[in-house]
Amino acid sequence: MPFPRSGLALLLGAGSTLAATGASREVPAGNAAVRYDRDVRPILADRCFTCHGLDAKQRQAELRLDDPASALADRGGYAAIVPGQHAQSALWERLTAADPDERMPPASSHKRALSSAELELVRRWIDAGAQYEPHWSFVPPTRPPLPAVRDAAWPRDELDRFVLADLEARGVAPSPDAEPAQLCRRVFLDLTGLPPTPEELASFVADVRADAYEELVDRLLTEEPYRTRHAERLATPWLDGARYADTIGIHTDNGRSLWPWRDWVLGALRDNMPFDRFLTEQLAGDLLPDATLAQRVASGFNRSHVLTDEGGAIAAEYLVEYAVDRAATTSSVFLGLTLGCARCHDHKFDPLTQEDFYSFYSFFSSVDEPGLYDQRPDPRRAFEPFLAVPSAAQAAERTRLTGEIAELELERERPAPGEAEAFADFTRSIAPALGLTWAETSLVEARSSGGATLTPQPDGSLRAEGANPDQDEHVVTLRTAARGLRLLHVLGLPDPDKLGRYENGNVVLTGVELSWARPATPEARTPVPLAWAWADVEQQNGDYGVLNVLEAGDRFGWAVDGHQRGGPRQLLVLTEEPFGTGEELLVTVALSYRSEHARHVFRRTKLALATLDAAALDALPITASNAYRLGPFPSQTRLEPYTRDFGPEAHTRLDRGFNFGNGNQYWARVSNWEDGRPLVLPEGVNVSYTARVLHAPSARRLTLALGSDDGLVVYQAGREVFRREIDRGVLPDQDRVTVELRPGANTLVFKIVNTGGQAGFAYAAREGELALDPEVLAALLPAATRGSALDARLRAAWRTAISPEYRRLALAIGDRQRELAALEASIPATMVMKELATPRETHVLDRGRYDHPDKARPVARAVPAALGRLPDGAPRDRRGLAQWLVSPANPLVARVAANRTWETLFGAGIVRSSEDFGLQGEWPSHPELLDWLAVELRESGWDLRALVRRIATSRTYRQSSRAREDLAERDPDNRWLARFPRQRLGAEAIRDQALFVSGLLVERFGGPPVKTYEPAGLWEEVAMLASNTRSHAPGPGDEVWRRSLYTYWKRASPPSALFAFDAPTRESCTIRRSTTNTPLQALVLWNDEQFVEAARKLAERTLAGRGDESARLAELFQRCTARTPGGQELERLRATLERFRARYQAEPAAAERLLAVGRAPRAPELDAPELAAWTMVANAVLSLDATITRN
């Protein structure tokens, strides 16, 4: 049924006010019509619908009073309501029953009995025929005719006609227009959030043109800097609704990056984006065809809810909570309905069922998100799904760098002239340069401990045949007369195509031992200690590094990856000292195969010995073992870990069999950890260890780049060589530690002390330029043994490491890659919506519990049945939802948006409960005006700015705000709009104004959030140690003076000064802030560092002005209130200034202390006592009611 328009004026006649439910409603006087929707339903809804309404679970006696079919039905000779006959209606009987057991509502419901006025309404409604009607806001608005008014000269805009017609019907005259100065300050604050400067004020007051005011409004809406300020002003209520903040809100309350979305909102408001687009891109920007980057950024609206990273949290539970929040916020912001109420059961009052809720919810429940997020140290992290959002300059720079890198890489692929010869020279010359000579040897004996036969082959290799035991040792004795031997070469050869005797072809060599004896005394063998080893291939999927062969006694060995890759294998082993004197010696090489992998034995091996110059040892690179870790060892205090040894500190070698704790605390190899990348270690107050063994061919000095969370102690061979006691998050390269390595094995143990939260460790080491690249070492091998694969690797390695042309290009590429990486790191990321490929199945959740889906009640995406349905052909996703929202068939969206715009300027909406247009919401003060504005908004192409302009230039808006004696009783809340409402400024405007009038405000559009002044220690007191928003420090430079909407919003501890003035925590959607008045607000204005500093700068600015003392005081006062002091005001200001002047002249030191507050430099030419006295006066003026209120 359409909204009946006639007769409204009748209802607005004189009548006694009544404290009815919901809102203060007027009882239609005399025989005027009683309306179900406005007069009766609120009473029934409040007192009856809980048990006789929509909620089937609560329903009593199978009676629905909200449904005429049930209320009027014959119930066996009687009916709850008999139209036209209240006395025959059971409802009336029960409402008025004398017997308390009979009377409704029952005492057990704690509902108040109906008052006589309420009963009267019910009686008249029944007698008039008990006409039910749909709720006004669920019927799409149509444009009502403009009402006639007697005083045709008063209205300036159509909207004024509605207000005036209403006032005339009540016999009330509107208020006179506000003084120009008052109007000027009002419209500046309402539209831009900042007051006019004295110059702007003076020029407006002096402008006598008839359209001076309209022109001012146009300027404020369309010209810079006002246009940007206007966007910043309008953004604040939008950010409240979208629950935008800079931390995740739960557990660690870690930082997160969503500010590009906030900037998108600012840009859209600045550019007056049509509201239908504004809505669509925020709800479904990611789903639009060929979505632009900006449109996808806009979808961040639905990601700004709280998130959890609490270790034990259950992901499925939070997936539900996130989707519920999105559904509830979307419905509150755009529909003005509290859909969230239907999560657990059918809505008690509004026609919204649980099915409706979950159908709506399912638009938002298929996001590609983890539910429970991991914890990371980066406070600027965007939580997945997210997008990188480069600025235009950043995007251009990225294109340039990637292009240059691609070009250089192409160039690098091309062989440089002369390179082939240079390579040949290198391979020819390296052996002589290092003094490398392969010794002549002859085989004396070769035997196997396990019974295999080692048969010499024509090429000098030995082939294992016959018995094939699980474990074996091959002992080979060679005769040689060489001198100064240093290197052993073990060549493993495929035979014919497999390296190992085990069927998969793999080999694990667990030990190499070397000894010599004189031929005369072959049993008197001298062992040769080994220092270092190198291999061309090391298997990566376990503790299989080549250095394992140097520890012959254990089961750990060098695995050759023979089951995956063919070709020969090369092993070089360096001895600690040269051996061989030139006389004939018997050199014995023992190769052991004692791993847990049975029969992983080389099929064919060839051994060789070589000399090396001592000086050449410096050319061999350090070889590093795998990384190992141990722990955590929990600790009871945060300091104990630094002083307490858990065992590994004293260990000089890495014994992987040693148990360090009463649990199983053994060294374990770390996999998938690259140098320079942080390794994540366990949470808690504890100690973890990592270790490496570095094998140096000669004494070396090596610099390590380390990072740790939190503290770090480094031990080398059991001796402490470095200590850092600190609380921090881990980054690569936080500490540089130089260690002196001795030839052979060097054990490094890193003790990582964690004082809370996650721990981490990063390690990197860089060798000096002298050592050869490990890959280039292949050049030492006899060319004939290398094989084609190794040859190719050698050639590539040589190019990388040694070819001058190649190195030039590599350096050029490296520079650009570093630049690119830095650029990428500086590109902000922002959270966005991203649908799963397959939507999650959704069911009604029993009582809203995540783990109780009602499998019998699956739901499909749909809009609440009472409000309409998706347009035909619309996609069943958020895009389709947006299409429905902005379609003319939608009853709510235009009304809700128009109402919120009205609220922004008038402080209260036409529907005062701007968050609730449902049955429990308030009746609009001017229903036809609201519909007219809603239709106007929609038909103007959703031009929000035109609507703002219309309201701001209306006569209604321009009225004086002075309270009126004649209305104090009749309209105490100014619902009739017979004057303009006086309103305390919002939190942001109060702070911004203080910054602006003092000249401190830094106006810079958008960008990352900024940290302003905040009392010390507040964050630490509530934060977890693991939180990356654990401590607060004001941002650098002028960041502290940015507009308040850019202030870093930590949900667990929102900005204190704003919070004191009713800013919300932004944990959930806030449509309407409360406006309270507390002592804490006074303390902020008096004592907050920001306000004290602003008072000083305001005083400095005033003292720098012209005129005598009175003129200056007047200017200071006017700057803050837009009026000149009158009455006794100037005298009081002067007297107080004089008092402070005397006080600070008597104690200049106190003046100095006061003036030291705040980081803004102080004007050096000003006398301290004088400035301090003015500062106190400015402090008072900034605290005036007239300053923090707009009239």
The closest of 823, 1004, 832 to 396, measured between CA atoms, is 823
Give the x-and-dash track for 583-622 against other proteins (CB under 8 A).
----------------------------------------
Binding-residue total with other proteins (CB under 8 A): 135
Q: Does 962 bind other proteins (CB under 8 A)?
A: yes
The closest of 373, 332, 386, 370 to 248, measured between CA atoms, is 373
* Residues forming a β-bridge with 705: 736, 764
Burial category of 922 from C-beta neighbours within 10 Å (exposed 0-12, middle 13-18, buried 19 and up): buried
Q: Does 526 bind other proteins (CB under 8 A)?
A: no
Q: Which residues within the stretch 655-674 sit at the binding site for other proteins (CB under 8 A)? A: 662-663
Residue recorded with tokens 């996130």 = 322
> Measured on CA atoms in the order 705, 709, 711, 717, is the torsion positive or negative?
negative
Contacts of 245 (CB under 8 A, 6+ apart): 304, 1049, 1050, 1051, 1054, 1065, 1066, 1067
Give the residue with the Cβ less far from other proteins, 582 or 1126: 1126
What secondary structure, in 3-state letters, does 569-635 show? EEEEEEEEEEEEECCCEEEEEEEEECCCCCCCCECEEEEEEEECCHHHHHHCCCEECCCEEEEEEEC
CA 26 vs. chain centroid, Å, equals 49
d(CA 661, CA 632): 10
**Choice from 411, 846, 1129, 1167 touching other proteins (CB under 8 A):** 1129
Q: Does 908 bind other proteins (CB under 8 A)?
A: yes
Give the x-and-dash track for 1045-1074 against other proteins (CB under 8 A).
------xxxx-xx-xx-x--x-xx---xxx
CA 129 vs. chain centroid, Å, equals 58
Burial category of 170 from C-beta neighbours within 10 Å (exposed 0-12, middle 13-18, buried 19 and up): middle
Give the residue with the Cβ less far from other proteins, 895 or 945: 895
CB atoms within 10 A of CB 821: 11
Q: Which residues within the stretch 1148-1177 sit at the binding site for other proteins (CB under 8 A)? A: 1149-1157, 1172, 1176-1177
Q: Does 636 bind other proteins (CB under 8 A)?
A: yes
**Choice from 1, 16, 19, 674 touching other proteins (CB under 8 A):** 19
CB atoms within 10 A of CB 536: 23
Q: Which residues within the stretch 1097-1126 sit at the binding site for other proteins (CB under 8 A)? A: 1125-1126
**Choice from 332, 366, 708, 830 touching other proteins (CB under 8 A):** 332
**Choice from 391, 581, 1075, 1124 touching other proteins (CB under 8 A):** 1075
- Nearest distance in Å: CB 996, other proteins: 21
What single string gives the DSSP state of each residue in 132-171?
Answer: ----GGGS---PPPPPP-S-TTS-SSHHHHHHHHHHHHHT
**Choice from 8, 23, 777, 905 touching other proteins (CB under 8 A):** 23
917 membership: H or E segment, kind and range = none
Q: Does 306 bind other proteins (CB under 8 A)?
A: yes
Give the residue with the Cβ less far from other proteins, 634 or 941: 634
Q: Does 1092 bind other proteins (CB under 8 A)?
A: yes
Alpha helices in 486-565 (DSSP H): none
With b for 16 or more beta-carbon neighbours within 10 A and e for fewer, the 1143-1152 pattern comes to ebeeeeeebe
- Nearest distance in Å: CB 1099, other proteins: 13
Give the x-and-dash track for 195-214 against other proteins (CB under 8 A).
--------------------
Token readout for 278 is 């504004």
- Nearest distance in Å: CB 988, other proteins: 15
Q: Which residues within the stretch 29-48 sit at the binding site for other proteins (CB under 8 A)? A: 46-47
Q: Which residues within the stretch 678-707 sit at the binding site for other proteins (CB under 8 A)? A: 684-685
Rg (CA), the chain: 41
Give the x-and-dash track for 109-138 against other proteins (CB under 8 A).
-xxx--------------------------
Token readout for 500 is 């190992």
Q: Does 963 bind other proteins (CB under 8 A)?
A: yes
Q: Which residues within the stretch 835-874 sit at the binding site for other proteins (CB under 8 A)? A: 851
Give the x-and-dash track for 537-576 against other proteins (CB under 8 A).
----------------------------------------
d(CA 929, CA 149): 14
DSSP code for 37: I
**Choice from 349, 534, 544, 763 touching other proteins (CB under 8 A):** 349
d(CA 750, CA 759): 13
**Choice from 650, 783, 1080, 1104 touching other proteins (CB under 8 A):** 1080
- Nearest distance in Å: CB 1152, other proteins: 7
Q: Does 316 bind other proteins (CB under 8 A)?
A: no
Token readout for 368 is 């590609």
Q: Which residues within the stretch 148-177 sit at the binding site for other proteins (CB under 8 A)? A: none
- Interface region with other proteins, contact rule CB under 8 A, candidates 380-388, 548-556, 790-798, 1011-1019: 1011-1019
DSSP code for 653: S
Q: Does 312 bind other proteins (CB under 8 A)?
A: yes
Q: Which residues within the stretch 964-993 sit at the binding site for other proteins (CB under 8 A)? A: 965, 968-969, 972-973, 981-984
- Nearest distance in Å: CB 1147, other proteins: 8
**Choice from 1027, 1047, 1102, 1118 touching other proteins (CB under 8 A):** 1027
- Nearest distance in Å: CB 852, other proteins: 12
Q: Does 246 bind other proteins (CB under 8 A)?
A: no
* Residues forming a β-bridge with 630: 689
What secondary structure, in 3-state letters, does 46-106 show? HHCHHHHCCCCCCCCCCCCCCCHHHHCCCCCCCCCCCCCCHHHCHHHHHHCCCCCCCCCCC
Give the CA distances from residue 858 to residues 348, 362, 569, 849, 1162, in Å, rounded to whole numbers and listed in that order.
22, 10, 62, 15, 68
Q: Does 920 bind other proteins (CB under 8 A)?
A: yes
Give the residue with the Cβ less far from other proteins, 959 or 1183: 1183
Q: Which amino acid, one-letter code, is at 377? A: P
- Nearest distance in Å: CB 110, other proteins: 5
d(CA 1024, CA 1009): 22
**Choice from 176, 311, 542, 1036 touching other proteins (CB under 8 A):** 311
188 membership: H or E segment, kind and range = helix 180-192
**Choice from 55, 922, 928, 988 touching other proteins (CB under 8 A):** 922
Give the residue with the Cβ less far from other proteins, 99 or 969: 969
**Choice from 12, 21, 452, 1174 touching other proteins (CB under 8 A):** 21
DSSP code for 415: P
d(CA 734, CA 868): 60
Give the x-and-dash track for 250-289 against other proteins (CB under 8 A).
xxxx------------------------------------
Give the residue with the Cβ less far from other proteins, 332 or 1044: 332
Q: Does 921 bind other proteins (CB under 8 A)?
A: yes
Q: Which residues within the stretch 747-766 sit at the binding site for other proteins (CB under 8 A)? A: 756
Q: Which residues within the stretch 82-101 sit at the binding site for other proteins (CB under 8 A)? A: none
Q: Does 825 bind other proteins (CB under 8 A)?
A: no
Give the residue with the Cβ less far from other proteins, 46 or 710: 46
With b for 16 or more beta-carbon neighbours within 10 A and e for fewer, the 1110-1120 pattern comes to eebbbbbbbbb
* Residues forming a β-bridge with 1039: none
- Nearest distance in Å: CB 671, other proteins: 20
CA 412 vs. chain centroid, Å, equals 41
Contact 631, 683 (CB under 8 A): no
- Interface region with other proteins, contact rule CB under 8 A, candidates 306-314, 462-470, 495-503, 542-550: 306-314
